[in-house]
Structure 1
Amino acid sequence: MKETFLGVDVCTYTYEQLVAKLMEDIDNNRKSFIVAINPEKIMKAQQDDRLRELLNQATYPIPDGIGVVLASILKRGRIRSRVTGIDMMLRLCQEAAARGKKIFLYGAKPGVADEAKRRLEKMFPGIQIVGTMHGYEKDEQVIKEAINQSGADILFVALGSPAQEYWIANHMHSLSPKVYQGVGGSFDVISGRIKRAPLLVQKLGLEWLYRLLKEPWRWKRQLALPKFLIKVIRE
């Protein structure tokens, strides 16, 4: 089930519903593409038809911004909580460990995916991370062979957005994993290189404010949130 905001689809599923559907997709040999949707991406898609088409290719476009939740409430929709990219990844890792599904980590700077692998193995005993590769490898054939030979069911791609989503859209049909998710800086967070907002701040949906206070130069990007909500109200 999906809702549409300014021409961009967002699904209404909870974490639990998404995990169940993704495991079902793996078991039924169906390919799935998860994309995190936030107001910034939706606003960029207003001027970029190619980006809008890319976002709407997603099997599961998740509501990764508090602005999307607020927009759904304003439109009397069904979305009442965020489904963040990193938490979706961690939920998938937890379920993969429980069900014996295999994972490949691709992207970020050299060494980051390897450290994220070690941290995930401590977090989820029994998890099978069958391969890692940093995002600076440029030989597409090397990347493709490493992923396909690993036997992975799930591929997490950390190349930054929207580059990672374009990469997935262009390559998923020639790769063997069933579930694909672009995860941005999640490997950096999991590896401990970047600190995430405190849990209470996350629960209040104020990670954007935490990042703004830590990185004030982001203020222009944060203007997308009020502009988005105003445009949704006018629509």
Structure 2
Amino acid sequence: MQTNRLRRQSEAELDAGIEHVAISTSSKISTDFQRPVYCILGLPFDAISMEQATAKIIDAARSHQRCFFSTPNLNFAVASLDGGEFRDSVIRSDLSVADGMPLVWIAKLLGLPVTERVAGSTLFEALRHRPGKVLLVYFFGGPDGVAEIAANKLNATASGLVCAGHKSPGFASVEEMSSDAVIDDINDSKADFLVVALGAKKGQAWIEHNLPRLQVPVVSHLGAVVNFVAGTVKRAPTWVGQLGGEWLWRIKEEPTLWKRYFNDGITLLKLMALHVIPCAVATRLHRRDSNAVANARVSLTVQGGNCIIAASGAWEESNLQPLREVFASVTATPFHIRLDFSEVTHIDSACIALLMLLFGHQSKIGYEFSLCNMQAAVQRLLHLFCADYLIGNSNAERGKTVQMAMR
């Protein structure tokens, strides 16, 4: 097999003593390139059901394997269009689920198998009401005093979750909320699941800032969950969420949110006109080149601390396994990675999302990622999927901050 030969080639070159600059934590960082991910509005989403997501979180908690999962909704996606660390925090997550019916509707329009909304609050309730071994949860964030109320209410009745600790840090910077005392209190709780509620951007930033120090296996920003459990904000009925009307319910409960939903709605209309609908049309009009798919090839060349991955042909969900294996093999050791796609004629949403996982891995370890020599048709697809940022990108400078935090 082509991939096995490439893997042997890569391993042989590494065993020969190729010099490279490795960061101290790189051996601890790995990325699962087998995840069934698809690109929607520039973010990777796992094609996973509520039941599968719940099982994955339980497995991570019981095996004490790190699972930082993100729950992007439309507001996440809109905010991520500006790029930067907020967008990248989703890409660097171990699991990314679609917490919003507009995203599910877009996926359906694009013919993607992201068919179920996996809301963070519903996922929490699924864990809460499941039978079996109890998981310990820690609430971090929320309005002053609300985390304590949520903890008391959660522990007042028997369930699959028990609150082992809580803290409302108030209004402070990420650094001020990351003291040794704060992290020690969370770790000393022996929690299996850390629920962060600080506002989406600050919450994601706080998690990434502290992940290397946290011993809790499952971590996520679930902003409204603390309020829901405490009862200070009522959850929308299930049927309202299924119809995509939860935003109206949230405005009823929290009127100050109207401006956010209004702005997100305007942006969604623009995205539909300029990206989603043209992308759906392009996808349906695309004539599949069976020969290009069957003859797709990938090769890699290692030169010192640099690796060049060259691909050719058409890459889509059905033939991505060689790329998955090459990405897994080459990231086993830190390299600056450059992808040469000059001979690639077509890519789909699954291929773009896979490239995002590699982009995210490189940013986590502070090594370069660049995607070069794209044909015009492939560049246009990246644009329609809001993934232009992958082209010619380098994570080296941005990764320095992550690298320093992990040391």
Tell me if TM exceeds 0.5.
yes
Give the structure 2 partner of residue 172 of structure 1.
Answer: 211
Give the structure 2 partner of residue 130 of structure 1.
Answer: 164
Q: Would you say 1:210 and 2:253 are equivalent positions?
A: no
**More deviation, 126-135/169-178:** 126-135
Task: Pick closer, same or farther for the CA change 1:42–1:75 going to 2, 3 Å.
Answer: same
**More deviation, 207-216/195-204:** 207-216
Contact 1:103 1:153 in 2 (8 A): yes
Q: What is the 5 A alignment of 1:1-235?
A: 1-95=36-130, 98-122=132-156, 124-125=158-159, 127-136=161-170, 138=176, 140-212=179-251, 215=255, 216-218=258-260, 219-230=262-273, 231-234=275-278, 235=384
* Offset, 1:123: 5.1
* Offset, 1:167: 0.8
Q: Which amino acid aligns with 2:67?
A: S
**More deviation, 208-217/103-112:** 208-217
Contact 1:104 1:156 in 2 (8 A): yes
- SS of structure 1 residue aligned to 2:219: strand
Question: Could you tell me the TM-score, scaled by structure 1's length?
Answer: 0.90
* Offset, 1:103: 1.2
Q: Which amino acid aligns with 1:191?
A: A
Task: Pick closer, same or farther for the CA change 1:126–1:89 going to 2, 3 Å.
Answer: closer
- SS of structure 2 residue aligned to 1:55: helix
Q: Which amino acid aligns with 2:121?
A: I
Q: Which amino acid aligns with 1:233?
A: I
Give the structure 1 partner of residue 377 of structure 2.
Answer: none
Contact 2:138 2:195 in 1 (8 A): yes
Q: Which amino acid aligns with 1:77?
A: L
Contact 2:137 2:193 in 1 (8 A): yes
Paired-residue identity, %: 24
- SS of structure 2 residue aligned to 1:86: helix
Q: Which amino acid aligns with 1:168?
A: I
Task: Pick closer, same or farther for the CA change 1:224–1:135 going to 2, 3 Å.
Answer: farther
Task: Pick closer, same or farther for the CA change 1:56–1:126 going to 2, 3 Å.
Answer: closer
Q: Deviations 1:138-193 (Å, cap 9, x if unpaired)?
A: 45222101001111111000111021111111112211110001011221122111
**RMSD between superposed Cα atoms in Å:** 2.1
Runs of 5+ in structure 1 lacking a partner? none
Contact 2:72 2:97 in 1 (8 A): yes
- SS of structure 2 residue aligned to 1:82: coil
| Number of equivalences | 234
| Structure of higher CA gyration radius | 2
Q: Deviations 1:79-136 (Å, cap 9, x if unpaired)?
A: 22211111112223334x7312211111112210111112222454463211111132
Contact 1:104 1:131 in 2 (8 A): yes
Q: Deviations 1:10-56 (Å, cap 9, x if unpaired)?
A: 11111110111112222333100111112222222222232221110
- SS of structure 2 residue aligned to 1:47: coil
